[in-house]
Chain A
Amino acid sequence: MQDFIRGQRAKLSQLAPATTRFTLEVRAQSVAISVFDFVCFGIDANGQLSDDRFMVFFNQKSAPGDAITLENLADKNATFAFDFDKLPASIARLVFTISVDGAGTMRDLGASELMFKADGQTLMRYAFSGADFDKEGALILADIYRKDNVWRVWASGQGFAGDLSALLAHFGGEVVEESAPAPVQNLVSSSIQTPPSAPISDPAILSAPANHTATPPAVAAVVALGELQKTLDGAATGATIRLPRGEYRGPIRIARALTIEGAGAVIWAQNGPVVAIASADVTLRGVQIEVTDGSGGGENDVALKVEGAAPTLERVEVRGRVVGMNHETADDWQLPVALDLGEFAPRALNSWRFAVKVPVDCQLKTSVSGLQLKPAQLDAGAHEIEIVASGIGPDTFLAGQIEVQHAGLVRPIPLSGRTARADANATVAQRKRVGGA
C-alpha cells in the first residue's frame, strides 16, 4: 500500500495487479457536519458530464451496465465500485467528490481518508482533514483518468467554494442556454364563434395560499330577483326597511304604508316601472332607482311610477322617467341624456353651454369639483346653463353628474370629459356647446 499526499499521481499499473475492477472508499469524519454527499462523475475527454447517467450518487446508484456502482452509502462514508471493462470509450475520467450537505465547511473535517482497493487489498490511501482546507463546501478527492491509453490515479484534493450544485455546474460545463423556440405568429384567433365564456380554471393571479380564505367585506348586499318584493310583502304596515348599500333587483310594487331607507342602495330592473307605489304613506329615502335598458316603449323606461297618493321622497335618485306625480310627466322635462365635455385645456378657464327645460323650480348641483353651474337655481321653463371649469390639472378625467333636484327627487345628468396631458400644447380656453336639450 502506498500513502499518497495531496497532488500525488501514479499509473494504475504501478499499484495494481492485472485487474480492471476496483473500489474506492471514502471515510469522512466531522462533528460539525452531519451529512456529506459523495459523487462519482464519469466525464468525457473535454471534462464534461456529457452523459448524465454517469453521475453516480445517492439518487442514481449505478451507471449503465453497472460500470460504476455506489455501495455502502452512509452519512459520512461511501464506497464506489467500478470496472474499466464496462466503461464506454467516451468516459475518459472518473472524478470522486465529497460535498457538505447542509451547514459547515471543509475546515470542519476531522481525520478522513480515501482508499483505493482491488481484490480486497488497499493499493493506495490518501488522508485528508480540515487542516488542508478552509471555506470550501466541496472537494474533488481523486481523479482516475486515462492518458495515452494508460489509466492513472491522482489524489487531487482540490477545493470548491460551493456544494454539490457547484460541482455539478463545474462538470455540466457550458450547457447551452435554453434555446429560444421559434416565434409563433397569429395565434390569437379573431374568428371565435362561441359567446364569451367564463373562465373555467383558476386565473393566473397573485394567488393566496390554497387554504387561505378571505371574507369579502360587507360593502354590498346583492338581492336576487323577487327577494326584495318578498321582504316588502312580509313587512308590517308602517315598518321601516333598511337596505344596506348594494344592488337590489326589481321591479317592486309597494302596496302598503312603508318606509324604505337605503344608504345608497340601488333598486334596478332592465325594464320599468322599476318601483311602483300603490299605497298612501310611503316614504323613500336615500335610494337610487334605475332602468338599465328601457327600450321597447310603453312604460319600459319608467323608473318610478306613483299610482295613488304622492309618496314622501328624500334624496331619491332616478335614472328613467317618473310618472304619476304632479309636474312629473315626461314631456315637461327636457334634459340632456349625458354631457361629454371632450378634451380641454388644463388649468385654464373653460366653459360650455347646454339647454334644459323644466316644469317646476329646480336646483342644479354638480358632483364634480372644479365645475360651476350658472345659473344654479332654475324657474319652471327653458334655460341655457353654462358650465365653467377652472384650475383642473392635466391628464385628469372627469366622471360625475349634474343633479337636477326638486321635491326630494334627483335627476342625474351624467358628465364626462378630460383635460389634455401636461405635454400637450393646449392652453387656450374653450367655449363650446355640448349636449342636446
Chain B
Amino acid sequence: MAAKTRSATLDNGRIIEYNTEVIGEGGMKTVHFTPDKSSVVCFFKDKTVGTDPQRRARLQSIVGPFNPTTDPEVGEYWSELFCWPSGVVAQPEIGVVAPTYPANFFFETGNFKGKEKQAKWFTSPKLRSYLPPEELGDWLKYVHISTRLARAVRRMHSAGLAHSDLSNKNVLIDPKTGGAVIIDCDSLVVPQIYPPDVLGTPGYIAPEVLATQKLKLTNPKRNLPGIPTDRYALAVLIYEYLLGRHPLRGPKVNSTISGEEDELLSMGERALWIEDPRDQSNRPDDAFLRVPYTKLGPYLAPLFERAFGEGLHQPNARPDAGSWEQALAKTTDLLHPCPNINCPQKWFVFDASDKSCPWCGTQISGPVPILNFYREGSKGQFKSDNHRLVVWQHQRLFKWHIYDNQYAGERADRHPQAYFAIQNGGWWLINQASEAMVVVAGASVPNKLIATNAGEILRDDMQIRLSRAPNGRLAVVQMA
C-alpha cells in the first residue's frame, strides 16, 4: 500500500511531498521521509520557531548564505561531509528539509543492521567486539575520518558558524570507507542572530560550559557553546577516533558524594587529561595507555598537548579546526603499513628512531625512504617545510607534495604525480608528472633529469627538485 503523503510549502514557494508517517522523533523535531526517501522533512515541535523572527532568520541563513553545499566548485564535496538543510518549510508548520544520510552510515550486517553508525560503537574496545570485522576499518580510515571531520568543522568555523553540539551522536562515521558526516546542522549557532539552543552532549561539553551551567542564561559569566567549545569537542572526537579512549575519563575521583557530581567535576571544573605530563593524578595504568598520544607523531602530539593541557580550561588556547586538519593531512604522509597481516590497526605513524608498529610491536626491516620537503624562500634557497613523506611499496606523490602552494584539502588535485616501488632492494621513484624532476645532488650523473615515466633509485641525502615550475619543492631523501 502506498504511503499517505501531504504537501509542504517551502519559504521560497516550492512545494514538496512528504509521507505522513513519522519515522523519527527527537526532543526538538518530528521527522518524515519524502516519498522517494532522498530527503527528510523535519517539523519543529516548538512552534515559536516559526513566529520568532530571529530563529526564522537563523534557519534562512543556514539554508542560504551559510550553506557550503551550494558552492559551485566544491559544494558536492561538502555535501558528503554535512547533512546540510536544503530548505525551510513554511507550511503547514515551520520545519526544514535535509538530505537523508547516505546508506554507508548505517550498519549493513551484524547485530546492529540498520542502526546509524555512531562513533561510540567503534571507539570503545568493548563495543567493537560486537561489530562484524568488516565494519571495523583500519587505522588509516580513522585518520581519514578525523581529517574529514576537522575539514568540515574548519569550513563551518571559517563562515563564523558553530555547531554547538558536536559529539559522537551528531557525527556519523564509516570506518569501512573513512567517511564522516556531520548531522543535525539546523541548530548551528549563527553569529549575531540567535544564541545556542543546546548545551551539548555529555563527554563533549567543554569544561567551562559545564562549570557554569547552573548560572542563569543572562549571567555574563555563563559560558555557552560556540566556536571555542566546538574546538574542544573536535579534539575529544579526534582523540577517541585515533586512540579509542576518552581524554578525561581516568581513575581520579573528584567527588564521593554522588556519581553525578563526580562526573560534573571530572568533565568540568576539575577536568584533567589522563595523559597530562604535569599532573599524573588522573593517569590510568600503563596497560591502558599502551599506545600513548606521543605515538601519533610530531604534528598531532603537540596539538593534543595544547587542547588538553593549557586549552582544557583556557578556551582561547585550543587549536583551531584548520590546525587539526593540516596536522592530520601531514600525519597521513607519515603513515606506514604494518607488515604484520594480523595487526589490528594495519597502519601506524612511522618513527625513524624505532621503526616499529606501536599497535603490535612489529619491526620494519630494511631501509625506509623518507622524503623531507623544502620550499623555495629566497630564489634558489630552500628551507624546511616541516613536512615529510614516508615511502612504502606503491606510495604515491601528489601535487600537494610537489608544490608548496597546493594543499590536500577540498580543492586538491588528486591525480598521482609519481609512485615509489622497490626492486632488488633499491627504492625507485617513478615520475608520472607531466614535467621532469631533477636530481640536483646525489645521482650518478650531475643534475640528472627524471623525465615523465622515467625513474631513479633513491639514495640517502639525494636532493630532488620535484618541479622546476614556480612553487616546486625540493625533496631531500633520508634512508631510515
Q: A188-B339, A190-B425, A216-B413 are in contact. List 14 more A-B contacts (CB 8 A).
A: A34-B22, A52-B130, A59-B110, A169-B124, A185-B365, A205-B398, A208-B410, A212-B77, A214-B415, A268-B451, A397-B463, A399-B463, A399-B474, A416-B441
Q: How many residues of A contact B (CB 8 A)?
A: 88
- Across-interface contacts of A399 in B (CB, < 8 A): 380, 382, 440, 463, 465, 474
Q: Which of A168, A181, A367, A416 contacts B130 (CB 8 A)?
A: A168
Contact with A along B146-167 (1 / 0, CB 8 A): 0100000000000000000000
Closest 6 CB pairs of A and B: A368-B380, A103-B26, A196-B421, A400-B380, A338-B446, A34-B25
Query: Taking the complex as formed, is A102 at the interface, i.e. its CB lies under 8 A from any CB of chain B?
Result: yes
A395 partner residues in chain B, CB cutoff 8 A: 383-384
B114: chain A residues at CB < 8 Å are 59
Q: Which of A190, A204, A393 has the most CB of B within 10 A?
A: A204
Report 28 cross-chain contacts, Cβ distance below 8 Å, ordered by A residue: A35-B24, A55-B111, A59-B111, A59-B112, A165-B118, A165-B120, A174-B126, A178-B129, A180-B360, A181-B360, A183-B360, A187-B365, A192-B424, A198-B419, A199-B421, A204-B140, A205-B332, A208-B410, A212-B414, A247-B435, A266-B436, A270-B451, A338-B447, A340-B446, A393-B383, A396-B381, A397-B440, A399-B440
Q: Is A211 an interface residue (CB 8 A)?
A: yes
Which residues between 155 and 189 of chain A lie within 8 Å of chain B, taking CB atoms?
Answer: 161, 165, 168-169, 172-175, 177-178, 180-188
Q: From DSSP, what is the main secondary structure of chain B's interface residues? A: loop
The listed residue (A169, A183, A201, A221) touching B126 by CB distance below 8 A is A169
Determine whether the beta carbon of B332 is less than 8 Å from that of A183: no
Do A191 and B424 touch (CB < 8 A)? yes
Tell me the residues in window 99-134 of chain A with beta carbons closer than 8 Å to chain B beta carbons. 102-104
B381 and A369 contact, CB distance less than 8 A: yes
Determine the distance from Cα of A212 to Cα of B412 in the docked complex, in whole angstroms.
10
- A161–B76 CA distance with the chains assembled, in angstroms: 38
Q: Tell me the complex Cα distance, A110–B81, Å.
A: 37
**Residues of chain B lying within 8 A (CB to CB) of residue A370:** 378, 380-381
A369 to B383, CA, bound (A): 13
Report A-chain residues with C-beta under 8 Å of the C-beta of B454. Answer: 292
| Chain B hits for A161, CB < 8 A | 202
Of the candidates A60, A191, A215, the one whose C-beta lies within 8 Å of that of B111 is: A60
| A149 cross-chain contacts in B, Cβ below 8 A | none
The reply to whether B80 and A193 contact each other, CB–CB distance below 8 Å, is: no
Q: In the bound complex, what is the Cα–Cα distance between A197 and B428 (angstroms)? A: 10
- Determine how close the nearest CB of chain B comes to the CB of A393; give it in whole angstroms: 7
**CB neighbours of B414 from chain A (8 A):** 205, 207-208, 212, 214
> How far is it, in angstroms, between the C-alpha of A321 and the C-alpha of B412 when the chains are bound?
40
A187 to B374, CA, bound (A): 32
- Comparing B12-20, B55-63, B84-92, B341-349, the segment that makes contact with chain A is B341-349
Interface flags for B365-404 (1: CB within 8 Å of A; 0: not) read 1100000001001111111100000000011101000000
Q: How far is the CB of A150 from chain B (nearest CB, A)?
A: 32
Whole-angstrom distance from the CB of B387 to the nearest CB of chain A? 13
Residue on B with the closest CB to A399? B440
CB neighbours (8 Å) of B140 from chain A are 204
Q: Is A407 at the interface (CB under 8 A from chain B)?
A: no
**Closest-CB distance, A165 to chain B (whole angstroms):** 5
B257 within 8 A of A: no
Q: Known: A203-B416, A340-B441. Contact between A165 and B121, CB under 8 A? A: yes
The verdict on A181 contacting B340 (CB below 8 Å), with A59-B111, A196-B430, A199-B419 known, is yes
A286 to chain B, nearest CB (A): 14
CB of A366 within 8 Å of the partner chain:
yes
Instruction: Note all chain A residues with C-beta closer than 8 A to B380.
Output: 366-371, 398-400, 415
Q: Interface residues, chain A, CB within 8 Å of chain B?
A: 32-35, 52, 55, 57, 59-60, 102-104, 161, 165, 168-169, 172-175, 177-178, 180-188, 190-199, 201, 203-209, 211-212, 214-217, 219-222, 245-247, 264, 266, 268, 270, 290, 292, 337-338, 340, 366-371, 392-393, 395-400, 414-416
The residue on A at minimum CB distance from B416 is A203
For B359, what are the chain A residues with a Cβ–Cβ distance below 8 Å? Answer: 180
With A168-B130, A220-B434 known as contacts, the answer to whether A181 contacts B342 (CB < 8 A) is: yes
B101 to chain A, nearest CB (A): 13
Other-chain contact of A246, B118, B419, B434 (Cβ < 8 Å): B434
- The residue in chain A whose Cβ has the minimal distance to the Cβ of B412 is A214
Instruction: Kindly state the separation between the CA atoms of A181 and B329 in the bound complex, as whole angstroms.
Output: 28
- Check B361 for interface membership: any CB of A closer than 8 A: yes
B292 to chain A, nearest CB (A): 15
The residues of B that contact A174 with a CB separation of less than 8 Å are 126
CB within 8 Å of A: which B279-311 residues: 287, 290
CA gap between A340 and B446 in the complex, in Å: 9
- Interface residues in B51-105 by Cβ distance below 8 A to A read 76-77, 80
A30 closest partner in B (C-beta): B25
Render B448-474 as a binary contact track against A, CB cut-off 8 A, 1 for contact.
Answer: 010110110000000101000100001
Instruction: Give the distance in Å from the alpha carbon of A34 to the alpha carbon of B344 in the complex.
Output: 38
CB distance from A162 to the nearest CB of B (A): 8
Given the complex of chains A and B, what is the CA–CA distance between A197 and B438 in angstroms? 21
Nearest chain B CB to A269 CB, angstrom units = 10
Q: Which residues of the other chain, A, contact B381 by a CB distance below 8 angstroms? A: 368-370, 392-393, 396-398
Residues of B within 8 A of A55 (CB): 111
Q: Using CB atoms, name the residue of chain B closest to A196.
A: B421
Given A216-B415, A414-B440, the answer on whether A165 and B127 have CB atoms closer than 8 Å is: yes
CB distance B27 to A32 under 8 Å?
A: yes
Output the nearest chain B residue to A184 by Cβ-Cβ distance. Answer: B340
Instruction: Tell me the nearest residue of chain A to B129, going by C-beta.
Output: A175
Residue of B nearest to A201 (CB): B394
Q: Which residues of A contact B415 (CB under 8 A)?
A: 214, 216
A172 touches B382 (CB 8 A): no
Q: Whole-angstrom distance between the alpha carbons of A205 and B413 in the complex?
A: 12
B362 lies within 8 A of chain A by Cβ:
yes
- Complex alpha-carbon distance, A403 and B174, angstroms: 55
A175 touches B419 (CB 8 A): no
Determine how close the nearest CB of chain B comes to the CB of A175; give it in whole angstroms: 5
Contact A220 B440 (CB under 8 A): no
Measured CA separation A255–B80 after assembly (Å): 55
A369 to B411: give the CA distance in the assembly, Å: 33
The yes or no answer to B265 lying at the interface (CB within 8 A) is no
Q: Does B125 contact A (CB under 8 A)?
A: yes
Q: What is the CB-to-nearest-CB distance from B13 to chain A, in angstroms, rounded to a whole number?
A: 31
Q: Assess the B361–A183 pair: CB atoms within 8 A.
A: yes
The reply to whether the CB of B38 lies closer than 8 angstroms to some CB of chain A is no
B364 near A188: Cβ-Cβ < 8 Å: yes
CA distance in complex: A268, B468 (Å): 15
User: B residues within 8 A CB of A398?
Assistant: 380-382
Q: Choose from B179, B428, B434, B463 the contact partner of A247 (Cβ within 8 Å).
A: B434
Residue of A nearest to B337 (CB): A204
